[in-house]
């Protein structure tokens, strides 16, 4: 096979992908080719199907008429094992997916129904893409036989009183909170595999914890004076109309919001404190950007005495060496949101600050994919015993 205008000269691919026999004998996973016979024993991203090799898993998408619901539908169009059989909406119940999302018009799917009218009889697993606050009661009412990935914030905080403080309402399903597993995939695979209910992380916490957790675990950065400045595309706020998200309110400008009180603060602090084994606090300010999707976090940290910037880079590179979706860029290269757009990839790099002993970490994701529906699919793949990257290897959309 030859591609016009494309040359492999100078590329070290480890093996020749131009050889059509390669696909029959080798498998591309975790950034490398492996002999197919090795698949069952490979680390991290590769896990041989356990019990459902040829059987379709029937999926319900709750909140299919929202942005994250539509991303689940888009991603599952390329999934060989998961089949959507139930889709719900609220105001848009009764409508077809093509009428609500014309980009999905070719999908042969049932019309959306109200949750009270959904039949979960043949469903194996649920993506719950509903606003936080409404989610707890709905999940509580679902059959216990279902595997659930909840994209809302309702089951992310282990401490119920913290939920009540930051979300301004009582938690109505504390018994379910106890069984929920926090689904930052790369850092909790074993727990996720065995979970019935996974709390999918928020988009900001995903972009922030992926670089920080390995560095704190390895005692390379200090757990104090962590300053985080994040930027999000407007789709992060969902599709329901709000004045603050009108074109006229967000175009041609940027602004900070949730200053000192954004509800992702306790989620970030929970994850960092767990690995530090002591309370970590952060200064976090999110900003709204005039773009539809994408998220960038710039994180200012202090290195532990004697640690050099190369140590941070080398450690992250090694830590994520077999993880398909976290790419630690070459030294000096800047992560751009446009290079992960539409994909499940997170690009990360570290830079020396001009102030000695400090470092600047930059990470980018697509808030709707690695920050929501992509990570949710990564998690459900693990829960159902499929390779983690099934349906997720589409490359970023560029330009
Ligand atoms: N957008 C993002 O980047 C991210 C979002 N999340 C979280 O994922 C969840 C979904 O977000 P997103 O898709 O952006 O939100 P949207 O506002 O785009 O969609 C919300 C969905 O929930 C339905 N819905 C709203 N209220 C109710 C209700 N009372 N009962 C039943 N269904 C209801 C809506 O139906 P209808 O359209 O018919 O009204 C719609 O299908 C949220 O909890 C969000 O915080 C997490 C990470 C990132
Ligand atoms: C731009 C924007 O408004 N973003 C949302 C975060 C999206 C997200 O991850 O929210 P959940 O915690 O609900 O899952 C916000 O700041 O509230």
Contact 300, 360 (CB under 8 A): yes
Q: Is the pLDDT of residue 221 over 70?
A: yes
Distance 237 CA to ligand 2 centre (A): 6
Answer whether 113 contacts ligand 2 (Cβ < 6 A).
no
Q: Which residue has the higher pLDDT, 277 or 1?
A: 277
Residue 203 catalytic?
yes
Residue 147 lies in a domain: yes
Tokens of 261: 């009180």
* Same-domain status, 82 and 134: yes
Q: Which atom of ligand 1 is nearest to the CA of 112?
A: 38
Answer whether 203 contacts ligand 2 (Cβ < 6 A).
yes
Q: pTM of the entire structure?
A: 0.91
CATH of the domain at 186: 3.40.50.720
| Owning domain of residue 183 | 57-201+373-383
pLDDT of residue 147: 98
Q: Whose CA is nearest to atom 12 of ligand 1?
A: 238
Q: Is the pLDDT of residue 17 over 50?
A: no
* Same-domain status, 175 and 241: no
Q: Which ligand is nearest to the CA of 64?
A: 1
* Same-domain status, 255 and 194: no
Q: Which residue has the higher pLDDT, 193 or 26?
A: 193
Residue 346 lies in a domain: yes
Q: Which atom of ligand 1 is nearest to the CA of 131?
A: 43
* Same-domain status, 347 and 377: no
- pLDDT tens per residue across span 77-100: 999 999 999 999 999 999 999 999
Q: Is the pLDDT of residue 356 over 60?
A: yes
Sequence-distant contacts of 67-70: CB under 8 A, at least 24 apart? 67/235, 67/238, 67/239, 67/368, 68/129, 68/151, 68/368, 68/372, 68/373, 68/376, 69/127, 69/129, 69/373, 70/97, 70/100, 70/101, 70/103, 70/104
pLDDT of residue 284: 98
* Same-domain status, 150 and 168: yes
- Residue 187 has phi, psi (to 5 degrees) of -110, 0
pLDDT of residue 12: 33
Answer whether 233 contacts ligand 2 (Cβ < 6 A).
no
Residue 391 lies in a domain: no
* Same-domain status, 76 and 173: yes
Q: Whose CA is nearest to atom 7 of ligand 2?
A: 236
* Same-domain status, 255 and 313: yes
125 forms beta bridges with: 59, 147
pLDDT of residue 10: 34
**Residues constituting the chain:** 399
pLDDT of residue 43: 53
Mean pLDDT in residue range 141-146: 96
Tokens of 40: 């069952």
Residue 29 lies in a domain: no
Q: Which ligand is nearest to the CA of 230?
A: 2
Count of domains observed in the chain: 2
* Same-domain status, 111 and 176: yes
């Amino acid at each position: 096979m030859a591609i016009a205008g494309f040359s492999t000269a100078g590329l070290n691919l480890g093996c020749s992908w131009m050889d059509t026999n390669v696909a029959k004998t080798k498998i591309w996973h975790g950034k490398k080719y492996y002999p197919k016979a090795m698949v069952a024993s490979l680390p991290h991203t590769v896990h041989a199907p356990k019990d459902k090799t040829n059987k379709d898993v029937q999926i319900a998408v709750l909140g299919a008429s929202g942005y994250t619901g539509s991303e689940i539908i888009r991603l599952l169009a390329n999934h060989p094992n998961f089949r959507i059989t139930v889709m719900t909406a609220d105001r848009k119940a009764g409508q077809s997916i093509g009428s609500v999302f014309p980009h999905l018009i070719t999908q042969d799917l049932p019309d959306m129904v109200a949750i009270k009218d959904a039949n979960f009889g043949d469903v194996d697993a649920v993506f719950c893409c509903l606003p936080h606050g409404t989610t707890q009661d709905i999940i509580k009412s679902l059959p216990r036989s279902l595997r659930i990935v909840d994209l809302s914030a309702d089951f992310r905080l282990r401490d119920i009183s913290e939920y009540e403080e930051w979300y301004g309402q009582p938690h109505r399903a504390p018994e379910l909170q106890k069984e929920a597993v926090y689904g930052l995939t790369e850092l909790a695979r074993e727990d996720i595999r065995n979970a019935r209910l996974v709390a999918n992380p928020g988009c900001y916490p995903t972009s922030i914890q992926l670089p920080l957790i390995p560095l704190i675990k390895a005692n390379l950065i200090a757990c104090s004076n962590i300053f985080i400045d994040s930027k999000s595309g407007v789709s992060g706020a969902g599709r329901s109309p709000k004045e603050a998200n009108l074109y006229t309110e967000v175009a041609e400008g940027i602004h900070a919001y949730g200053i000192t009180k954004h509800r992702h603060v306790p989620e970030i602090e929970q994850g960092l404190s767990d690995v530090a084994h002591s309370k970590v606090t952060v200064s976090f300010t999110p900003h709204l950007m005039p773009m539809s999707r994408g998220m960038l976090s710039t994180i200012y940290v202090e290195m532990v005495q004697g640690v050099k910037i190369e140590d941070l880079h080398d450690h992250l590179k090694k830590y994520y060496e077999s993880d398909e979706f976290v790419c630690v860029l070459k030294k000096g290269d800047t992560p751009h949101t446009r290079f992960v757009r539409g994909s499940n990839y997170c690009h990360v790099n570290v830079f020396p600050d001009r102030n000695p002993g400090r470092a600047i970490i930059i990470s980018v994701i697509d808030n709707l994919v690695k920050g929501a529906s992509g990570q949710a699919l990564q998690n459900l793949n693990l829960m159902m015993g499929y390779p983690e990257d099934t349906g997720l290897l589409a490359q970023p959309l560029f330009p």
